């Protein structure tokens, strides 16, 4: 098992799975629990790197699959690596592309060697192997690299889920063997669908290898919320407390609170940015749809007391006007607010874990939503 200092646990209340900690990465430190805004194509949609820093984003997620197809790894490498290319100086985690391959099921073929797939851009054929995916991410200079894995949907036949676990473990071993840069961290991805025994098998097989962290993949693919949390609990109970645990592709504010309560340290999701572009803004009392007619003459900010740039400067009425007029500024302003909300939510959880008041925070979190 890996004994390096990729992850340090700061506060871990006795008898509780949740904790605060710190990731020590090439481009800086990240306090956990943390949420990573998604910048799939080397850009968090609608906002600049400076704006991301201003709202408190510590680390962002990008995607090796998409960058490999466009603009191409060679282009990014020639321009100094991903950080230089996109003007972001803080840490970056890159997904391997396993989820994208899953979503393109009709356009790919999986073998022990790797994945043969057709580009969603032009239909051209490409092959991803575990070795190639690690090499792509090492070239990009990702602070945290993800192994190639096989993600299955929900529901899925037992035989398919079992085979996905076997292949994921095989690819993980090859990923470790092909790694050349120790300054970049490499995480494995636990699969197993919605089967506790297969989740346990996947986690235990991957824990035999010296990874720097462990992700929980294959969730938020259509399963009931409680089933998702059951699988999170299963994996968290196996991954040692000394290692970071990352829940991929999740989620809504309630998901973050419940997963942190169960011992998850890291998250990413498109929800705050995608929902912003659809007119939804997050607040402590729940979400609001800025398109609604009730905001036509509303002079208040999205959330009274919020200190983000959007709430300090603009009214709901103005934001509704921008959205109805399809002015591009509204996507930026709503995205700024939503990411700020997510950053403050994670900060509040860290603070309350350190104070020993996390359960009180959780009750207040839900209590405010009941009022909305």
Active site residues: 95, 268
HSE-CB for 179 with a 13 A CA cutoff = 25
Task: Please report, to the nearest 10 degrees, the dihedral formed by the alpha carbons of residues 146, 220, 291, 276 taken in order.
Answer: -10
Q: Is the peptide bond before 240 cis (omega within 30 degrees of 0)?
A: no
DSSP state of 315: -
Structure tokens at 104: 């393109």
352 touches 247 (CB < 8 A): no
Q: Give the whole-angstrom CA distance, residue 266 versus residue 181.
A: 23
| Terminal Cα-to-Cα distance of the chain (whole angstroms) | 47
> What is the DSSP code string of 63-113?
EHHHHHHTT-HHHHHHTTSHHHHHT--S-EEEE-SHHHHHHTGGGEEE-SS
3 state DSSP class of 12: coil
88's CB contacts (< 8 A; 6+ apart) are 39, 49, 52, 60, 82
Q: Which of 324, 36, 73 is nearest to 187 (CA)?
A: 36
């Amino acid at each position: 098992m890996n004994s390096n200092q990729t992850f340090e646990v700061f506060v871990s209340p006795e008898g509780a799975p949740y904790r605060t900690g710190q990731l020590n990465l090439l481009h800086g430190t990240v306090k956990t629990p943390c949420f990573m805004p998604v910048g799939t194509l080397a850009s968090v949609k609608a906002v600049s790197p400076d704006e991301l820093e201003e709202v408190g984003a510590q680390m962002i997620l990008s995607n090796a699959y998409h960058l490999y197809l466009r603009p191409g790894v060679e282009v990014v490498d020639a321009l100094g690596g991903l950080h230089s290319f996109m003007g972001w100086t803080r840490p970056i985690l890159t997904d391997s592309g396993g989820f994208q391959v899953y979503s393109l099921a009709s356009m790919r073929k999986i073998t022990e060697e790797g994945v043969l797939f057709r580009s969603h851009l032009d239909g051209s054929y490409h092959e991803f192997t575990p070795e190639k995916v690690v090499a792509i991410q090492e070239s990009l200079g990702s602070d945290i690299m993800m192994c190639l894995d096989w993600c299955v949907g929900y529901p899925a036949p037992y035989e398919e889920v079992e085979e996905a676990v076997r292949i994921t473990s095989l690819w993980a071993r090859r990923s470790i063997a092909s790694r050349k840069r120790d300054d970049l961290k490499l995480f494995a991805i636990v699969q197993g669908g919605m089967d506790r025994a297969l989740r346990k098998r996947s986690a235990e097989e991957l824990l035999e290898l010296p990874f720097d962290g462990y992700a929980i993949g294959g969730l938020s693919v259509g399963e009931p919320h409680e089933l998702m949390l059951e699988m999170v609990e299963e994996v968290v109970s196996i991954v040692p407390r000394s290692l970071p645990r990352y829940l991929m592709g999740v989620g809504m504010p309630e998901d973050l609170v419940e997963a942190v309560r169960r011992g998850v340290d890291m998250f990413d999701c498109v929800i705050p940015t995608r929902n912003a572009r659809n007119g939804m803004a997050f607040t402590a009392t729940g979400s609001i749809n800025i398109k609604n007619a009730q905001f036509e003459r509303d002079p208040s900010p999205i959330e009274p007391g919020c200190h983000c740039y959007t709430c300090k400067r603009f009214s709901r009425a103005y934001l509704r006007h921008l959205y109805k007029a399809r002015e591009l500024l509204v996507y930026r302003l709503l995205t700024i607010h939503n990411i700020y909300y997510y950053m403050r939510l994670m900060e509040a959880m860290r603070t309350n874990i350190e104070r020993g008041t996390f359960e009180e925070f959780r009750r207040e979190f839900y209590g405010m939503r009941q009022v909305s």
